[in-house]
Structure 1
Amino acid sequence: MNRLIKKVAVIGSGIMGSGIACHFANIGVQVLLLDIVPNQLTEAEEKKGLTLNDKVVRNRMVNDNLATALKSNPSPIYDKKFADRISTGNTTDDLPKIKDVDWIIEVVVERLDIKKAVYEQIEKYRKPGTLITSNTSGIPIHFMSEGRSEDFQEHFCGTHFFNPVRYLKLFEIIPGPKTKPEVLSFLNNYGEKFLGKTSVVAKDTPAFIGNRIGIYGIMSLFHLVKEMDMTIEEVDKLTGPVIGRPKSATFRTVDVVGLDTLVHVANGLYENVPNDEAHELFKLPNFINHMMENKWLGSKTKQGFYKKVDKDILSLDLNTLEYRPNKKASFQTLELTKTIDNVIDRFKVLVNGKDKAGEFYRKSFAGLFAYVSNRVPEITDDLYKIDDAMKAGFGWEHGPFQIWDAVGVEKGIELIKQNGENVAEWVNEMLASGNKSFYTVKEGATYYYDIDSKSQKKIPGQDAFIILNNIRDTKKVWGNSDSTLFDLGDGILNLEFHSKMNSIGGGVISGINKAIDLAEKEYIGLVIGNQAANFSVGANLGMIFMMAVEQEYDELNFAIQSFQDTMMRIRYSGIPVIAAPHGMTLGGGCELVMHSDKAVAAAETYIGLVEFGVGVIPGGGGSKEMTLRAADQFKKNDVKLNILQEYFLTVGTAKVATSAYEGFDNGVLLPTKDIVVVNKDRQIAEAKKHALLMAEAGYTQPVKRKDILVLGKQALGAFLVGTDGMTAGNYISDHDKKIANKLAYVMAGGDLSEPTLVSEQYLLDLEREAFLSLCTERKTLERIQFMLTKGKPLRN
C-alpha cells in the first residue's frame, strides 16, 4: 500500500500539540488542530456579551494555544505564512472531521483514563486504516489501545516527539502489542525523510530510550554533585560544549525545560523500574524537594538553579540553598583540551585528568557506560539506537557508546570497576569475540556490534546519507589547513571547510579555486558542504582587521578582489557548483551560496548578509548580487525604486533569515533555483544528486552578465534622503548613515544621470571601493574589534 500523508489531526493544542501541528505545517501538510471546549467565559468574553455557544468561545483554547506557540521564540514554524496550513476546532463540534485525515496524533494530558476516553470518541469517526498515534512520554503503549477495535490496534503506536518539536530531531516510535510491521516501517521512513527526524524504534519500556538514559544522566549528576561537593557552575562547565553538549549543559538545561517536568519523569521511573540497578538514583535529592516546595522551577518561575536579578545572574548554592553571585569555574584538565578541536578526541584526555575534573569525568562516564550497557537488550536490542536517541533528543554530539569507544572499551570497563559498578556481560563477550569496539567504519558505512550475531552489522538506512567523517581517510583528494576535497563518487567532488567557525580566509579561498580547477579537469560537478554545526560565519574578520589596522590597503584590496573573483568563479565555472548551507550562513558564507548554481539548503539555515554589523557593506559580491536580483525583478510599469529599496533594506538592516524558507522571502535564496531539505543528514547526498542531474543534463558555462539595470541618481537621491531622515529621527547613528550611503551608491550603480545597463564587474568595482573606504574608518575598526572580542555587534 502506498500511504500518503496529506492531512493530519492533532488532538490537544498545548505546547507539544501546537509544536507538532506547526512542524507538520512546516513540511506542507494540512493540519486540523483540536482541543476541548472551555467550560466558562472569560471576563472579556462576558463584557462582549458572548455565550458558551459562540464559536469564538468554543475554539478559544485551541486558538489561544496556537497563537502563543506562533509568538514564541525560537519560532516553531519555518515561515509565519505556513500557519495558514493549520485549521482549528474543538473536540465537541469538530471531531467528525477526522474522518478525512490520514494520521491522528493524540497529545492530551498524561492520564491513561483521559487518553482512553479520547480514543473511544476518535473511534466513532476514524476511517479504517488511518494511523493513530500517541505522543505520550511515559504511559505504557500496551495499556492505551485496550478495548479498541482490531483495526485501531493494528494502526496504533506511540510516536514521541521531543520539545521543541521543530528543533529536536528525536522521533521515538513505540509499537503496541498488535501494531502492524508495515505501520512501523512507514513511520520510521516518514520521520526520517519528511519530518527531518532521527527515527528510533523503541521497546515499550518506561520512558522509552531517550528519557530513560537522559533522566538517568541528569539524576546521577544531581547525586554526584553532592557527593563531590561541586558547584552548579562547575558541573555546567564540565558538561557543556567541552564534551559536545549544548551550552546550557546540565543545570541551565533543567531551568529551561522546567524542574517539574524532570521531576515528573524521574518519579515515574522511580515507581516503574523497581529492578533497575540504578533505581535509587531516580529518588529526588533533598535540594530538589526543597526547590519543588518553593516553586523554584526554572525559567517559567523566574528562578531555578539560576536566578536573574537586574543584570546579574545568581547561582543556587546547593549546601545553603540560597542564591549567591556566580562563581567562574576553571580546571587544569580542561586547559589540556583547548588545542583539541575534535570533541571525540578529548575524552581520553578528560578521563585521565589529575584534578577534580578528571575525577568527575571518571565517575560520571563510568556510571553512564555501565547503565547503557545494562539497558541493552532491555530498552532496545541495538546499541546504536541509544546513541541516536541521545544525540537527537538531548543535543549530544556523541552518544554514550561512541564516547566509550573514544575512551577505549577496556578502559571504560576499568573505570566501571573502579566505580564499584557492573558492566553487562555482553560487553565482555564482545571483547572475547575479537570485536574491540562498538562501532567500525568500512567502505564509507558505519557498522555496530550486534549482540545476537556477535558480529559487526551495518546500521540500516545509511544509503540515503553521505557521512564525510566516514570517507575522510579513504576518499580524500586534496586538502590544506582550512579545507578538504573528497571524491563523492560518480564524478562529483565535495569541498569541506574546517577553519574556525568555517570562516572564509586565504585557505578556504585557495580550496575553492583548487576544487574548481580539479572538477573542471577530471570531474563533472562540485558540492560545497560540510557537516559541522554551521556552514560558514563569513569572511575572516581577524585578517581584515589586521590589514586595516596596519593600513595595508593594497593587500586588503587584493584580498577582497580575490574573494570577489572566487565568488565569480563559482558562478561562471565550467561545472555545476552546488552549495549545501545549514546553520549559520552569514556574510561571505551567504555570498558563496548566492553565487552557486544551486543551493540545497537545510531547513534550519540562518542566512543573511550581516556586514553592516561590523561597519562595512557586503564586499564579496553580495551588494552586487542583491542589486542584480532586484533588477531581475523589474517588470514593465513597475515602480522599480520600490523593488530596489526592498533589497537595499534587507542588506542595510543585516536581516538574517531564521529558516531557509525565510531566505526565499529575503531574496538571498531563489525559489527558481534553490531547494530545501528538512533532514540535514540527507543534505550532502541530495546536493550530490542535483550536481549529477545538472551535469548529465548538459551543463553549459553561463555567460557573464552585462545587462543589469541600475537606476542611478533616481535611486541614490531617494536613498540619501531616507538615511538623512533616519539619522535625524535618531533611528540610526552617523556611522550607520555613512555605511548606508556607501551601500546606496553601489546599489544605485553610482550617480549615473539615468537608468543604465551595467556589467557585474562594474558593480563589483563599486562594491570593493566602498568596502575599502569603510575599512579606513575608525568606527568601523571599533565595530570589527568588538565583534572579534565580544562576539556581538557594536552600535557606535
Structure 2
Amino acid sequence: MKRRINKVAIVGSGIMGSGIACHFANIGVEVLLLDIVPRELTDKEKSKGLTLEDKVVRNRLVNDSLQASLKSKPSPIYSQSFASRINTGNLEDDIAKVSEVDWIIEVVVERLDIKKKVFEQLDNHRKKGTLISSNTSGIPIKLMSEGRSEDFQKHFCGTHFFNPVRYLRLFEIIPGPETSEEVLDFMNEYGEKFLGKKSVVAKDTAAFIGNRIGIFSIMSLFHMVEESGMTIEEVDKLTGPVIGRPKSATFRTVDVVGLDTLVHVANGLHEGVPNDEKHDFFALPNYIDSMMEKKWLGSKSGQGFYKKIKGDDGSSEILSLDLETLEYRAAKKASFATLEQTKSIDNVEDRFKVLVGGKDKAGEFYRKNFSALFAYVSNRIPEITDELYKIDDAMKAGFGWQHGPFQIWDAVGVEKGIEMMKAEGEKPAAWVKEMLESGSKSFYTVKEGNTYYYDIPKKEQVKVPGQDAFIILDNIRESKEVFKNSGVVVEDLGDGILNVEFRSKMNSIGGDVLDGLNRALDIAEKDYQGLVVANNGANFSVGANIGMIFMMAVEQEYDELNMAIKHFQDTMMRMRYSSIPTVAAPHAMSLGGGCELSLHADKVVAAAETYIGLVEFGVGVIPGGGGSKEMTLRASDTYHKDDVELNRLRENFLTIAMAKVSTSAYEAFDTNILQKGKDIVVVNPDRQLAIAKKHALIMAETGYTQPIERTDIKVLGKQALGTFYVGTDQMYAGKYISEHDKKIANKLAYVMAGGDLSDANYVSEQYLLDLEREAFLSLTGERKTLERLEHMIKKGKPLRN
C-alpha cells in the first residue's frame, strides 16, 4: 500500500506540539492542532462577558500556544503565510476529527497516566490504519501502547523530534513491541524525504540515543569542571567551534535550553539506567542543585551560568557564574597554547590529534573528556543501537556536532584512543578490540564515493544505508576531481554533470573562485551536459571578497578594481548564457555575490534553510556583480499592460536598499530573489546536491538551448528616478537613513531607473551592467564606504555611518 500524508493531527500545543505543527505546515501538510479546554475564565474573558461554553474560550489554550510559537524567534515556520495550513481545536469538541487524518502525533505532558488516557480517547476515534505516535523523550513505548487495540499497536511507535523542530534535524523512531516493519520503513523514509530530517531508528531504552549520549556528555563535563576547578568560560572555549560544536558550546547551550529541562532528563536517566557503568555521572553536582533551588535556569529566568546586566550608561555586560562561590563575576578570557596550534588547521577533523596531544590544561581536558566519551559510546552498543553510525548521526543531527563520537575517535586514531583511555582509567567495549583484530583499523572507510561502517556482528565494513539519495562531496572530491585551484574544486558528478565546489575562506568569491568557475564552464561546455554550483560548507557563500575590494579602493587602484568587478559581471553572464544548463544550490548564508550567482543560474535548487539576499548596502556599495541589473530585469518581466510599473520596480529596489535577507528559501520568493515556477526548495539538505544534479540533467536531456542576451529590458527613466529621489529625501529627513545611506540609495536608483532617460525605454543587460559598475566604483571612492568595508572586515558586522 502506498501511504500518503495529507493531514496530521497534533495533540498537545505546547512548545514542541506547536513546533511540530509548524514544521508539517512548512512542508505543505494540513494540520489539526488540539489541546485541552480551559477550566476557568481569564479576567479579560470575564470582562467581555464570555463563558466557558464560548468557542473562543474553549480554544484559548491551543490558539495562545500557536500564536506564541509563531511569534517566537527563531521562527518555527518558513513563511507566516504557511500558518493558514494549521487549524486549531480542543479535545472535547474536535477529537472526532482525528478520524479524517493520516497520522496522529501525541505531544502532551510527560506523564504515562495522562498519555495512556489520551491514547484511549484517540483509539476510539481514529480510523484503522492511521499512523499514531508519541513525541516522548523517554517514557518507554511499550508501556504507552499497553491495552490498546491490535491495529493501534501495529501502527504505533515513538517519533521523537528535537526542539526547535524546524532547525534540529534528528528524528528518532522507536518501535513498540508490535510495530509493523511497514510502519517503521515508512516513518524512516518520510522523515528523510519529506520532513528533511535525519531519521534514526532507536531501541526502546531510556532517553533513546540522542539524549542518552548527549546528556551523558554534558553531565560528564559538569562533574569534570567540579573536579578540575576549570571556569565555565574555559569549558565553553574548549567545547565550541574549535571541535566543530555550536558557538554556544556547553554552558551557554544549557542556558538557552533551560537548566530545568536538562535536570529533568538527567534525573530520568539516573533513575532509569541503574546498571549503567557511568550511573553516577547522571547524579547532579552540588552547584546544579544550588542553581535549581535559586531558580537560575538560564535565559528563561534571566540568569543561569551567564547573566546579562545593563550599566548606568545603557551598555550591556555578560557576567559569568563562579561555580565555587556561586557568585557572578566579570567574564574571564580563556586562552590555551594547544588551541593556538590549531588556528592554521581549517579542517576540524584534522585538529583532534593536535588537541589530544596538547601539553597544557587543554590537552589534559580533551584526553579525559574524549576518553570518557569513547568508552561510553562503545559500551552502549548493542544496548541502545546495534549500529555505531546511528550514534554519530544522532549527535550530529540532534546536538549540532560536526562529527559524531566514532568519527572523532577515527580522527584521533582507534589505537591511539584506546591508549588514551587506558591512561585515563577508561575501558572500551570488547568489540573494539575484535574490530582491530579483524583487520578493520577504523570505524569508517570510504570506497567508491560511499561511506562504510564497521558492522559488529558481521565483523566487516558495511555500506551505510540510504546513501543512494545523496552525493557526499567529501567522499568523491579526490577520486572525481576534474580541476582545482586555490578557490574551487570541480568534480564529476556522473551522467555528464560537473559540480563547482567553493573552497575559499567562508566560501567568499574572489578572483580564484571566478577563474575556477570560468574554467568549469569551459570544461562543461566542451565535454559535459550541465554544471551545478554547490558545496557542503557551513554557508554557500558570504559574498565577494571584500578584503580585496577594500585594499584596491584604499590604494586607489580603480582600473584594477574596475577590471575585477567586470570579471565578476562577465562570469555571472557566462552562468546565464552558457551553452549548457547551470544550476545553483544555495544553503544557509547565501549573501551578496553568492546571491548574485544564484540570480544568474538557469535554475536554483535551494535548501529550505537558505538565508539569501543582496546585502551590499551594509558595506557602502550597491550589488556590482549583476545583482542590480538582474533585479531591474526581473521587475521589467513582471510589467503588464495598464500596470503601475513603478510599484513593481520599487519592490525590487527596496529588496536591495533595505538589504533584505530571507529567513528561509520560501521567503526569498517574496523578495523576488527566487522565482516561482522556476526555482525549487529542498527540505532535506543531504538530498540537495543530488536533486540539483537531476534538474541539470533534465534540462540537458530535454533540449537545452543557449539563451540569447536580453536587449528588451524596460527602464522607466526620470519617472522612476524622481520618485526614488523624493523617497530617499523623505527617509533622510525623517532620520530613518543616514546621509551616506541616501547617497548609496540614489546611486542604486540611477541604475535601476536606467539613468536619467527622459522617457521609458528598452535597454540591454550590458547597458545596465555598465551603469551598475560605474556606480559601484564611484562608491568605493567614498570615505564612508571605506569605513564600512573596514568595519565589516574587522568586526564582522555592518557599520551605520
**TM-score, scaled relative to structure 2:** 0.99
Paired position in structure 2 for 1:666? 671
Paired position in structure 2 for 1:94? 94
Write the distance in 1 (CA, Å) between the matches of 2:226 and 2:49.
Answer: 58
SS at match of 2:223: helix
Write the distance in 2 (CA, Å) between the matches of 1:722 and 1:677.
Answer: 38
- Asked if 1:696 corresponds to 2:701, the answer is yes
SS at match of 2:270: helix
- Asked if 1:190 corresponds to 2:190, the answer is yes
Paired position in structure 1 for 2:36? 36
Write the distance in 1 (CA, Å) between the matches of 2:94 and 2:641.
Answer: 48
Paired position in structure 1 for 2:141? 141
- Asked if 1:422 corresponds to 2:427, the answer is yes
- Note the C-alpha offset of 1:229: 1.1
- Note the C-alpha offset of 1:241: 0.2
Paired position in structure 2 for 1:726? 731
- Note the C-alpha offset of 1:397: 0.2
Paired position in structure 2 for 1:397? 402
Write the distance in 1 (CA, Å) between the matches of 2:93 and 2:230.
Answer: 55
Write the distance in 1 (CA, Å) between the matches of 2:27 and 2:412.
Answer: 40
Paired position in structure 2 for 1:641? 646
Which string of whole-angstrom CA distances, capped at 9 and with x for unpartnered residues, describes residues 74-102 of structure 1? 00000000000000000010000000000
Matching residue's letter, 1:278: K
Matching residue's letter, 2:3: R
- Asked if 1:46 corresponds to 2:46, the answer is yes
- Note the C-alpha offset of 1:672: 2.3
- Asked if 1:485 corresponds to 2:516, the answer is no
Q: 2:341 aligns with which of 316, 319, 336?
A: 336
SS at match of 1:277: coil
SS at match of 2:335: coil
Which string of whole-angstrom CA distances, capped at 9 and with x for unpartnered residues, describes residues 267-304 of structure 1? 00000101100000000000000000000000000000
Q: 2:772 aligns with which of 752, 767, 772?
A: 767
Matching residue's letter, 1:90: N
Paired position in structure 2 for 1:509? 514
Q: 2:633 aligns with which of 628, 650, 669?
A: 628
Paired position in structure 2 for 1:386? 391
Paired position in structure 2 for 1:686? 691
Q: 2:592 aligns with which of 577, 584, 587?
A: 587
SS at match of 2:132: strand
Paired position in structure 2 for 1:498? 503
SS at match of 1:626: helix
- Asked if 1:65 corresponds to 2:65, the answer is yes
Among the aligned pairs, what percent are the same residue? 76
Paired position in structure 1 for 2:373? 368
Which string of whole-angstrom CA distances, capped at 9 and with x for unpartnered residues, describes residues 96-115 of structure 1? 00000000000000000000
Which string of whole-angstrom CA distances, capped at 9 and with x for unpartnered residues, describes residues 593-638 of structure 1? 0000000000000000000011000000000000000011100111
Write the distance in 1 (CA, Å) between the matches of 2:87 and 2:489.
Answer: 48
Paired position in structure 2 for 1:473? 478
Paired position in structure 2 for 1:793? 798
Paired position in structure 2 for 1:119? 119
- Note the C-alpha offset of 1:671: 1.1
SS at match of 2:721: helix
Write the distance in 2 (CA, Å) between the matches of 1:125 and 1:765.
Answer: 67
Paired position in structure 2 for 1:6? 6
Write the distance in 2 (CA, Å) between the matches of 1:385 and 1:462.
Answer: 14
Which string of whole-angstrom CA distances, capped at 9 and with x for unpartnered residues, describes residues 703-744 of structure 1? 000000000000000000010111111111100000000000
- Asked if 1:574 corresponds to 2:575, the answer is no
Q: 1:705 aligns with which of 710, 723, 727?
A: 710
The two structures, once aligned, show a CA RMSD in angstroms of 0.4
Paired position in structure 2 for 1:264? 264
Write the distance in 2 (CA, Å) between the matches of 1:654 and 1:423.
Answer: 53
Paired position in structure 2 for 1:248? 248
Paired position in structure 1 for 2:227? 227
Paired position in structure 2 for 1:23? 23
- Note the C-alpha offset of 1:204: 0.2
Paired position in structure 1 for 2:313? none
Write the distance in 2 (CA, Å) between the matches of 1:481 and 1:241.
Answer: 24
Q: Which stretch shows the higher mean deviation, 221-230 or 126-135? A: 221-230
- Asked if 1:288 corresponds to 2:293, the answer is no
Matching residue's letter, 1:123: D
Matching residue's letter, 2:120: E
Matching residue's letter, 1:299: S
Q: 1:739 aligns with which of 739, 744, 756?
A: 744
Which string of whole-angstrom CA distances, capped at 9 and with x for unpartnered residues, describes residues 407-456 of structure 1? 00001111111111111000000001111000000000000000100000
- Note the C-alpha offset of 1:482: 1.0
Runs of 4+ in structure 1 off by over 6 angstroms are: none
Write the distance in 2 (CA, Å) between the matches of 1:650 and 1:433.
Answer: 60
- Asked if 1:525 corresponds to 2:530, the answer is yes
SS at match of 2:248: coil
Write the distance in 2 (CA, Å) between the matches of 1:47 and 1:793.
Answer: 48
Write the distance in 2 (CA, Å) between the matches of 1:641 and 1:405.
Answer: 60
Write the distance in 2 (CA, Å) between the matches of 1:756 and 1:781.
Answer: 35
Paired position in structure 2 for 1:410? 415
SS at match of 1:564: helix
- Asked if 1:273 corresponds to 2:278, the answer is no
Which string of whole-angstrom CA distances, capped at 9 and with x for unpartnered residues, describes residues 287-324 of structure 1? 00000000000000000000001100000000101000
- Note the C-alpha offset of 1:138: 0.5
Write the distance in 1 (CA, Å) between the matches of 2:619 and 2:518.
Answer: 27
Which string of whole-angstrom CA distances, capped at 9 and with x for unpartnered residues, describes residues 473-508 of structure 1? 211111011100000011100000011110000110
- Note the C-alpha offset of 1:227: 1.4
Write the distance in 2 (CA, Å) between the matches of 1:338 and 1:790.
Answer: 18
- Note the C-alpha offset of 1:756: 0.1
Write the distance in 2 (CA, Å) between the matches of 1:360 and 1:738.
Answer: 53
Write the distance in 1 (CA, Å) between the matches of 2:553 and 2:537.
Answer: 30
Q: 1:314 aligns with which of 315, 319, 322?
A: 319
Q: 1:608 aligns with which of 606, 613, 617?
A: 613
SS at match of 1:346: helix
Paired position in structure 2 for 1:438? 443
Write the distance in 1 (CA, Å) between the matches of 2:637 and 2:477.
Answer: 41
- Note the C-alpha offset of 1:226: 1.5
Matching residue's letter, 1:563: F
Q: 1:782 aligns with which of 763, 766, 787?
A: 787
Write the distance in 2 (CA, Å) between the matches of 1:721 and 1:676.
Answer: 38
- Note the C-alpha offset of 1:228: 1.4
SS at match of 2:791: helix
Which string of whole-angstrom CA distances, capped at 9 and with x for unpartnered residues, describes residues 159-195 of structure 1? 0000000000000000000000010000000000000
Write the distance in 2 (CA, Å) between the matches of 1:426 and 1:457.
Answer: 16
Paired position in structure 2 for 1:203? 203
Which string of whole-angstrom CA distances, capped at 9 and with x for unpartnered residues, describes residues 29-81 of structure 1? 00000000000101100000000000000000000000000000100000000
Write the distance in 1 (CA, Å) between the matches of 2:681 and 2:378.
Answer: 38
Write the distance in 2 (CA, Å) between the matches of 1:209 and 1:202.
Answer: 6
**Number of residue pairs matched by the alignment:** 796
Write the distance in 1 (CA, Å) between the matches of 2:365 and 2:247.
Answer: 19
Matching residue's letter, 1:241: P
Q: Which stretch shows the higher mean deviation, 414-423 or 698-707? A: 414-423
Matching residue's letter, 2:158: G
- Note the C-alpha offset of 1:550: 0.3
- Note the C-alpha offset of 1:572: 0.2
Write the distance in 2 (CA, Å) between the matches of 1:749 and 1:43.
Answer: 60
Q: 1:597 aligns with which of 592, 599, 602?
A: 602
Write the distance in 2 (CA, Å) between the matches of 1:533 and 1:23.
Answer: 22
